[in-house]
Amino acid sequence: MACIGLLEVFIAFLVSIFFHFLIHKKPHQILPRNWPILGMLPGVLVVFHRINDYVAEALEVSNMTFAFKGPWFSGMNMLVTADPANIQHVFSSNFSSYDKGSEFKEIFDFLGEGIFTADSKLWEELRKSALVMLSHQGFQSFSFRTFTSKIKNRLIPVLDHFAEANTVFDLQGVFQRLAFDVTLTLVTGYNSNSLSIEMPENDYAKAMDDAEEVIVYRHAKPMIFWKLQNWIGLGEEKKMKKANAVFNRLCAEYIFSKREEIQRRQDSNEEEAQDEDILSFYMKLDTSKYKLMNPNDDNFLKGIIKSFMLAGRDAIASTLTWFFWLLSKNPEAVTKIRQEINENLPRSGKSLNPEMLNKMVYLHGALCESLRLYAPIPFERKSPIKQDVLPSGHKVDTNWKIVFAVYALGRMRAVWGEDASEFKPERWISENGGLKHEPSFKFFVFNSGPRNCLGKNLSFLQMKTVAIEIIQNYDIRVVEGHKIEQVPSMVLHMKHGLKATVAKRCLVL
């Protein structure tokens, strides 16, 4: 009973501090106040519903870097930065002095020992094996065929249905289901039909959404609090426990089925399938080359599935959602993309190929603008292995975490100019009409340095293919008055979806 009384007193104290902050905070004060005991956490909680935009505003007035002081003894001190010089220093020139760290692995524990959470030698092996697989011509062909098939057999029938019914639908949900179905096939070989007119419930996709939201809340709580919540099964952590149960059940099913398939082929002396998925690749891994990875360990294989599912589904679905919303606000960009399609792509119904897609310079620039303004993964983080001084002059040691505000970086006027908040695909086009290159520490969406995204080119091919199919054949209209609001999540989702209507275009051949 005494413990309950102390807890009530502590909660009352927090509430009083919270309301004092609301009443007495100066309107012009952007950076959160550093309170005794509680640090800057109360100020962040007030704006947590719009955390990405708030961080961008704070960085704009603090020379792109500020120190966040967490509650005493909470281990939450962070240096928040969008300074390209700091990014280059940590991710490239001084790469060996920073890693993800043990705390990162605990916060992202739902991913297991995958490439996103690994450090040192294990990360090197995972990176090397992923590069071999993704660069293999067979996998690239399999990927492109899978994607174009899902568009033809899943996306188009669904859009045609909504067009004929003249009904409002969630475009974000459509993109998430398309990306999920494609990614699940590429990762496990399993054909999911979550994108259909019926729009069935998908346990794995729902678990991914829940886990990604919980991750952000973990960043805003002392670790001891969210671990206690997880142990008891309270609050947001209840979602994570349920999500992990779904991951474990479904991943175990995929692994079991794949082992049976491989064994069946061996027993019947069948030729190996040309369309080899990622799970098959890792099950057949040569352990003489990759000594730290165990293809017989189910936990290792589960980490592979979860990591590649995260990478494949969310970046594409998030980018396409924000991209089509931006196009709805900038119809002149739609006109230019259609002109580019007419000038560079065949009208005979011939299938698109990577060479054709590479001619779509304006479309590429428009996608880059969407990525710049609405980065799918709004933040990255690293931990220093030893004391260091960043180019911005800030000292960091092993007790600090460095949070790289990717979303905010795309809006920094010091980096992108006074028009940083504007959607301008032309900023990506050079004077001779080609694509303009921006260094990865400035355009940080695909990471930078040794950890740069291996699937960058594949992602652009997939996004261009979807964009062309829709822009060429349909008119998308966002419902007037539809509220656009971000979900506080490790992935930049729209809280209320993207409600829209679709109409088929009459093409003149």
Q: Which residues are annotated as a binding site for heme?
A: 453
Which residues pair with residue 65 across a beta bridge? 81
Which residues pair with residue 381 across a beta bridge? 403
Q: How far apart, in whole angstroms, are the C-alpha atoms of residue 496 and residue 172?
A: 9
Number of other residues whose CB lies within 10 A of the CB of residue 77: 17
The widest CA-to-CA distance across the chain, in whole angstroms, is 80
Given a contact cutoff of 8 angstroms between Cβ atoms, the answer to whether 67 and 77 are in contact is yes
Question: Phi and psi dihedrals of 34, rounded to 5?
Answer: -95, 95
Given a contact cutoff of 8 angstroms between Cβ atoms, the answer to whether 146 and 277 are in contact is no
Q: How far apart, in whole angstroms, are the C-alpha atoms of residue 224 and residue 206?
A: 26
Which residues pair with residue 476 across a beta bridge? 502
- Binding residues, by number, are 453
Number of other residues whose CB lies within 10 A of the CB of residue 265: 13
Q: How far apart, in whole angstroms, are the C-alpha atoms of residue 115 and residue 204?
A: 20
Fill in the amino acid letter for 127: R
Total residues found in the chain within this entry: 509
Q: How far apart, in whole angstroms, are the C-alpha atoms of residue 436 and residue 425?
A: 11
Number of other residues whose CB lies within 10 A of the CB of residue 307: 23
Q: What angle do CA 322, 491, 483 make, to 5 degrees?
A: 45
Q: How far apart, in whole angstroms, are the C-alpha atoms of residue 88 and residue 110?
A: 29
DSSP strands (E only) in 271-357: none
Long-range pairs for 49-54: beta carbons < 8 A, 24 or more residues apart: 49/488, 50/486, 51/216, 51/488, 52/378, 52/405, 52/407, 52/408, 52/486, 52/492, 53/486
> Which of 357, 309, 334, 338 is closest to 455 using CA atoms?
309
Inter-axis angle of helices 171-188 and 456-473, nearest 10: 140
Measure the N-to-C terminal CA separation of the chain; round to a whole number of Å. 79
Which residues pair with residue 500 across a beta bridge? 169, 478
Question: Phi and psi dihedrals of 438, rounded to 5?
Answer: -120, 135
